[in-house]
Structure 1
Amino acid sequence: MQPEPAAPASPASRPTLADVAAKAGVSASTASLAFSGSGPVSDATKQRVLDAAAALGYGGPDPRARSLRRGRSGIVGVVLEERVRAAFLDPVKIQMLDGITEGIAPLGAGLLLLTDTGEPGENAVNIESAPVDAVVLIGCSPRLAVSIEALRRRGIPAVAIEGDTGEDLPEISIDNHQATRRGAEYLRELGHTEVALVTLPFDAARTRGPLTPELERTGTAATARERLAGAREVFPGIGGQVAGASSIEEGLEAARALLADPETRPTAVIAQSDLLAAGVIRAAEELGIAVPAELSVIGFDGIRVDGLQHDLTTLSQPSVAKGRAAGEAVVGLLAGESPKSVCFTSTLHVGDTTAPPPAR
């Protein structure tokens, strides 16, 4: 018969592990092993310890004390470039988070999501103060260098998913330059010469508007720059519009400006994410422009976009594998190893949003 649990104790009278050990008639170390399950404790002894704990109202060792003894928090931070709500609207971010969770599984650690938007947050838990053992910097961020510097000051190991990290931080990347070039070459093979871009943000201020030489020169977002360079290898004079984020709404606004004038309207648009591409298609529908008969659209990511009635032509990237590799690199860093950077390859998926250009 199981003992009746005791009433919750006040902080001053809260039972300790030593109290449980005394009641169970075992040593404190045996009681600790019974709770952790990590030592040679018989089933009968373990049950006696658990019964004593239930009778005293003892809930188990304080995880904060365990963290102090181990010198670790048992938490891996994941830094997002935007607000959490926006990140969870992006299937790419969700897939990478799934992969990170798989990769860090051997640690038995939890994930703490942090945002680094550059906005002040009084009393907020952020990259400067979060109790984490290691950090994964996720998502094509123009603020990557700021985040890395903050972590270096704290001495916290980090892994970046895309971005120029320097030689001392492992980077999990994809072939942004080469993949975009492959997509651009496909458009050229179809016969397109009038091609424009809708890009990811270039700077920490998330400046929207035309892609200007000044923005290119001062931009800090490696992913946007690399994808631009890939397109320029095929279409040297290509320009376009810069979006404020990877979202359908931002793609819609950028494309409205890009497609407004029939005299300067491109016959194809290279969007630097699938969400942006979906926004471009929505803008084309608003303006009565048929996709792909009058406008070809190519994206980047290889995700399913809710509400998109097209099979999008896109560069498909292995988002889950990227996250998993980042998580595995964290495990290596915390084991004192020096994980190598990894670069994944994207593949061109030809859907129904691209076709030869219309006759002028």
Structure 2
Amino acid sequence: MTIQPRRPTIADVARAAGVSTSTASVVFSGKVNVAEATRRRVLDAAAELGYAGPDPRAASLRRGRSGIVGVVLSAHLRHAFLDPVTTAMMDGLTDALTDASAGLLLLRDDPQGDDPPPIAEAPVDAVVLIGCSARTRAAVETVRQRGLPVVVIEGAAGEGVPRVTLDNREASAAIARHLRDLGHERVAEITLPMEPARERGPVTPARLRAATVDVALDRLAGFREVFPDAPVVSAAGSLIDEGMIAARALLTDEAGKRLPDAERPTAIVAQSDLLAVGAMRAAEELGLRVPEDLSVVGFDGIAVDGLGDQRLTTIVQPAIEKGRAAGAQIARMLAGEPGESVHFTCRFREGTTMAPPAGR
């Protein structure tokens, strides 16, 4: 039987360097200045013994923390990370948590029968929710009873939970008014998924009553302030292919033929830039020119490839800043300070995909 050598400890390093254990610990923590000669002696002893530094698991046990922040996503990871907005928010979140030396555990808000959501029992120090379904909202109460900090990005998890919010409704209403002022009367919208099941198809009053995704609902509410009776189709995800499917449903009849000019929308508002690109591709398939025959507007302000000379008209949101704000509030709460809600606003970015309707 092979006996594994004992892992050297900080006490071994201290003895070899001829200093106290506390002095050796201070050298590795870097939190207190130590004489250069002493620091060098401790590091040389550590190198000779093969000591790489304190075991982070021991530090976690002393603090009573795991060093992990749970991030709950509302979509499959393969879909979530195809969305540039999600990846930008994750970049900002990671940046803000660097000083807290926290790792991220990605979890999905995925119903599995009657089982509790994964976040209810995850070994984490804090939780960031990207959106918040009714099901996850119930689980958050369990998390809060454990005394863990919780922050929600664009959603509501109940009283006292700090939120990172965006003026989705106001921005959507503003772009709808812009289209109306250009002379558009027949305008349609393609929404993000409106419920965890991510159903695709026309948004009926019954579906609207059952919808739970705040971002999609807020953007739709702003749009319908201006076009209350406009046709609306929901996509199953923020993907170019989904935008193509939804736009075909708005621009063609049941046989798949292009609707007559007098019947089809003259503009489509998409709740994401990827959906807007899909709508542009569907229009091109049908022989429609953008913006001469069909104006298309997006939401997000991401960099989109494959548009040629076109520049998408869109609403730009501060995705990285939203992630940073969530991480900053988590870091504050982990340090014992109260968390605060943070609100961001969007800005309009004019491109080449919006124009007055034909004949104006």
TM-score by length of 2: 0.89
Unaligned runs of 5+ in 2: 254-258
> Distance in 1 between the 2:155 and 2:268 partners?
24
2:165 to 153, 168, 173: 173
Q: Does 1:302 align with 2:282?
A: no
Q: Which aligned pairs between 1:231-270 and structure 2 lie closer than 5 A? A: 231-261=223-253, 262-263=259-260, 264-270=263-269
Match of 1:52 in 2: 45
The Cα shift of 1:143 comes to 5.8
User: Aligned equivalents of 2:270 and 2:357: distance in 1?
Assistant: 17
Q: Would the alpha carbon gap of residues 146 and 238 (structure 1) be closer, same or farther in structure 2, given more than 3 Å must change?
A: farther
Distance 1:143 1:324 in 2: 26
Change (3 A) 1:153 1:250: farther
The Cα shift of 1:335 comes to 2.2
Residue pairs, 1:87-126, within 5 angstroms: 87-118=80-111, 126=118
1:68 aligned to 2:67? no
Q: Compute the RMSD of aligned alpha carbons.
A: 2.4
Segment drifting more, 253-262 vs 294-303? 253-262
- CA contact under 8 A between 1:291 and 1:353: conserved in structure 2? yes
Q: Identify the residue that residue 182 of structure 1 maps to in structure 2.
A: 174
How far is the alpha carbon of 1:13 from its aligned partner? 1.9
Q: Does 1:284 align with 2:283?
A: yes
Instruction: Find the aligned partners of 1:307 and 1:338 in 2 and give their Cα distance.
Output: 45
Give the aligned partner of residue 204 of structure 2: 212
Give, as a single letter, the amino acid of the residue that structure 2 aligns with 1:355: A
Q: 1:290 to 1:60 in 2, by over 3 A?
A: same
Residue correspondence of structure 1 range 185-204 to structure 2 within 5 A:
185-204=177-196
- Mark the runs of 5 or more structure 1 residues left unpaired by the alignment: 1-8
Letter of the 1:94 counterpart: T
Aligned residue for 2:99, secondary structure, equals helix
Q: 1:285 to 1:148 in 2, by over 3 A?
A: farther
Q: Distance in 2 between matches of 1:355 and 1:143?
A: 42
For residues 76-87 of structure 1, the aligned pairs below 5 Å read: 76-87=69-80
Report SS of the residue matched to 1:301.
coil
Post-superposition shift, 1:47? 2.0
AA matched with 1:341: S
The question of whether the paired residues in 2 share the 8 Å contact of 1:142 and 1:203 is answered with: no
By how many angstroms is 1:148 displaced?
Answer: 2.8
Contact 2:92/2:323, CA 8 A, preserved across alignment: yes
Runs of 4+ in structure 1 deviating by more than 4 angstroms, as ranges, are 9-12, 139-144
The equivalent residue for 1:352 is 352
Partner in structure 2 of residue 6 of structure 1: none
Shift of 1:329: 1.1
Aligned 8 A contact 2:314 2:350 in 1: yes
The letter for the 1-side match of 2:287 is G
In structure 2, the CA distance between the partners of 1:42 and 1:333, relative to structure 1 (3 Å rule), is same
Aligned length: 349
CA shift, 1:196, in A, is 0.9
Which residue is 1:329 aligned to? 329
Q: How many percent of aligned residue pairs carry the same amino acid? A: 57
Determine which of 15, 25, 34 is the counterpart of 2:18.
25
Matched residue of 2:119: which SS? coil
CA offset digits 1:126-168 (Å, max 9, x no partner): 5244432222222576765255345335432111110122221
Tell me by how many angstroms 1:334 deviates: 1.4
For the residues of structure 2 that align with 1:265 and 1:76, how far apart are their CA atoms? 48
Shift of 1:54: 2.1
Contact 1:313 1:350 in 2 (8 A): yes
Cα deviation for residue 288 of structure 1 reads 1.3
In the alignment, what sits opposite 1:274? 273
**Structure 1 contact 81–143 (Cα < 8 Å) conserved:** no
Alignment partners' CA distance in 1, 2:35 and 2:120: 45
Residues 247 and 150 (structure 1), Cα distance of their counterparts in 2 relative to 1, 3 Å cut:
farther
Question: Which is further off, 68-77 or 282-291?
Answer: 68-77
Pick which of 74-83 and 28-37 moved more. Answer: 74-83
CA shift for structure 1 position 174: 0.7
Higher mean alpha-carbon deviation, 111-120 vs 334-343, is at 111-120
Cα distance in 2 for residues equivalent to 1:21 and 1:10 = 25
Q: Give the Cα separation in 1 of the matches to 2:135 and 2:88.
A: 22
